[in-house]
Amino acid sequence: MAVPFADLQLQYQSIKGEIDAAIAGVIRDNAFIRGPYVDAFEREFAKAVSVKHCVSCANGTDALYLAMAALRVKQGDEVITTAHSWISTSAMITHAGATVKFCDTDGATFTIDPHAIEAAITPRTVGIIPVHLYGQPADMDAIMGIAKKHGLWVIEDCAQAHQAQFKGQPVGTFGQAATYSFYPGKNLGAMGDAGAVVTNDAGLAEHVAMLARHGGLVKHQHQMEGINSRLDGLQAAILSAKLPHLSDWTRARRDAAKIYDAALNQIEDVQVPHVAPWRTHVYHLYTIRHPRRDALAAYLNAMGIQTAINYPTALPLLQAYRRFDHQSKEFPNAYADQNSILSLPMFAEISPVQQNEVIGAIRAFGH
């Protein structure tokens, strides 16, 4: 039996009436850009994250750029982030005008190593962007401690971590701001691109909103030069329809991860995701390590089981960063992981039968 990596159709079918009604409402009201549906989603999402302000924008990449621009990042500044993430995190540091400083991961959780952050700080450092990769929070105690000690801002990249928690506190509430993506495959996904910046700082929220809307909140009154990064009404209404289900979907992902953990732990050579104490993982991705990753991936693929490598090259080693001339030995954990990680099928609706298929195939590969 083939097992897809994710199945967006199943989720749509499960709440088709709510989604279709949401779309019809936006079309009926001609509320395509901004308008009541966008305002409503911003209010609802802020409440869901337990923050005061949510400013929606076109995608999670823009959210990172907007948050940094609103924090007045400038040429010559250095911003620290992880060597293991999607390229948006580091690319937006550059586009905001700063220099990206990469840190290795901790070797266990795929998240940034706080010791490496300390070592990377210089007089030019202005901020840190931890990524709650795959859905597991970074070590926010250590990171906030370092930020406080050195007077740095923190932007949490929560694109993969809707509803994750660190010591019972929701991610997105630790730093000056946090960014979200609602790309269709994310734990809360639109039917197109969508993103948001959340913050408890009213001034920062207003600055982000202005930057996202051509530099002004009132038409033709441009306080500054901004960009055009708006959430459209259709996506907002779809997200509002989905948001009430997010807790159930998160629970389903965590239950599915438990099933994988219990079975895969028994199989030689398979290293299941390590969850550090106090961290609530929401399993945007269920990523194992395996010493013969490429052979395992090919074996599963031949059986119709879709897998993915997130991500095949650590950020500092990408062609995009050849100007820094980074060497793999500077990032031993991220480099080891790029060659051993494999993400297995994971979505809220995955069935025990599908999971058993995946587990059986991985077991068979070992023999």
Q: Quick one: which segment of 85-93, 218-226, 327-335, 344-352 binds ligand PLP (CB under 6 A)?
A: 85-93
Which of 81, 82, 89, 105 contacts ligand PLP by CB under 6 A? 89
Please identify, among the stretches 30-38, 81-89, 253-261, 317-325, the one whose residues bind ligand PLP according to the rule CB under 6 A: 81-89
Residue 58 CB, nearest approach to ligand PLP (Å) = 8
Cβ neighbours of residue 117 closer than 8 Å, sequence gap 6 or more = 80, 103, 128, 143, 146
Measured CA angle at 126 (ends 229, 281), to 5 deg: 70
Q: Is 88 in the site for ligand PLP (CB under 6 A)?
A: yes
Binding residue for ligand PLP, selected from 112, 159, 296, 297, defined by CB under 6 A = 159
Q: Report the C-alpha gap between 14 and 142 in whole angstroms.
A: 40
Chain residue whose CB lies nearest ligand PLP: 60
141-148, long-range: CB < 8 A, 24+ apart: 141/166, 141/167, 142/114, 143/112, 143/114, 143/117, 143/174, 144/174, 144/175, 146/114, 146/117, 146/118, 146/121, 147/175
Q: Is 181 in the site for ligand PLP (CB under 6 A)?
A: yes
Shortest spacing between CB 64 and ligand PLP, in angstroms: 6
Q: Segment near ligand PLP (CB under 6 A), from 59-67, 102-110, 163-171, 359-367?
A: 59-67
Q: How far apart are CA 67 and CA 63, in angstroms?
A: 6
Q: CB 78 → ligand PLP: shortest distance, Å?
A: 19
Among 18-26, 98-106, 146-154, 157-165, which window interacts with ligand PLP (CB under 6 A)? 157-165
Can you state the angle between helices 16-29 and 36-49, rounded to 10 degrees? Answer: 140
Contact status: 109 vs ligand PLP (CB under 6 A) = no
Within 8 A by CB and 6+ apart from 146, the residues are 114, 117, 118, 121, 128, 152
The number of residues that bind ligand PLP (CB under 6 A) is 15
User: Where along the sequence are the contacts to ligand PLP (CB under 6 A)?
Assistant: 59-61, 85-86, 88-89, 131, 157, 159-160, 181, 183, 193, 195
